[in-house]
Amino acid sequence: MYKVYLVDDDSFILEELVDMVPWAENGFEVAGSTTDPEEALDRIPVLAPEVVFCDLRMPGMDGNEMIRRLKGKDVRCEFVMISAYDSFENVREFFRQTGFDYILKPVSNEDIQMVLERLMIRLSGSHPQETREVLTKNPEFNRLVAYVNDHYSEKLGLSFLADKFGFSKSHVCALFQKHFNMSLNLYLTDLRMRHAKELLLDRTILIKEVAYRCGYTDYYHFFKVFRDHFGVSPKEMREQNP
């Protein structure tokens, strides 16, 4: 799993991020968190997380300054800003420092999920696979995988699948990592992207309909995940395959 460190001066928001975000099913674990940016400057270089989520406005040091100082310590990771402020200067400065994404508060589950899917693609260097025929010695896990393959366009959460097939959530995560070397959600994203690519070959299907058939009710979400996955937009993919 990839390690995440969280920084927000609001302890309530920090606790909500730790407890409510489905980190494990997306292939992440929270390595640490703090309300103090100075503490973050000390802990992040030691823990070496792959991703840092940080607030913009914090007492004594804002998020952009914290990122600058971490880069000065040669910290190499992805940064995601979470802020109630979306001024042009703040956002420009964040992306000037090669920030990964900027999420506005109040944070929605959909926003977090989209960012986690895209982060996993970036960190894993995942590319769509042509085949996904893996049978294990665990028949129940094989049934679970077959169910995911058949119902990829539906909302498939870790809790739902674990309950349906009699696993613990941690065991489902471990099995996907063992047999596919990826998280459940990255497996699902990869599956959806392969089907999206196939559907785009049929020019009678609108691109928004392709998104819907692949389980994305938000076209913007689909667009960003598709572009991260293939390096081109859905429209460009279609134009490349006349």
Q: For residue range 208-235, what is the model confidence (pLDDT) as tens digits?
A: 999 999 999 888 889 999 998 999 999 9
Whole-model pTM: value is: 0.68
> Mapping DSSP to helix (H, G, I), strand (E, B) and coil, where does residue 79 land?
strand
Question: By C-alpha distance, which of 115, 199, 118, 111 is closest to 153?
Answer: 199
Helices (H), the chain: 11-20, 37-47, 63-72, 88-96, 109-124, 139-150, 158-165, 169-180, 184-200, 207-213, 219-230, 234-240
* Higher pLDDT among residues 238 and 85, named by residue: 238
Q: For residue range 52-107, what is the model confidence (pLDDT) as tens digits?
A: 999 988 988 999 999 999 999 999 999 999 888 777 777 888 878 888 988 888 88
Question: By C-alpha distance, which of 123, 103, 148 is closest to 29?
Answer: 123
**Distance between CA atoms of 130 and 191, rounded to whole angstroms?**
10
Q: What is the DSSP letter of 209?
A: H
Q: Which domains does the chain have, with CATH numbers?
A: 2-124 (3.40.50.2300), 129-242 (1.10.10.60)
Residue 216, burial from CB neighbour count under 10 angstroms (0-12, 13-18, 19+):
buried
pLDDT > 90: percent of the chain: 56
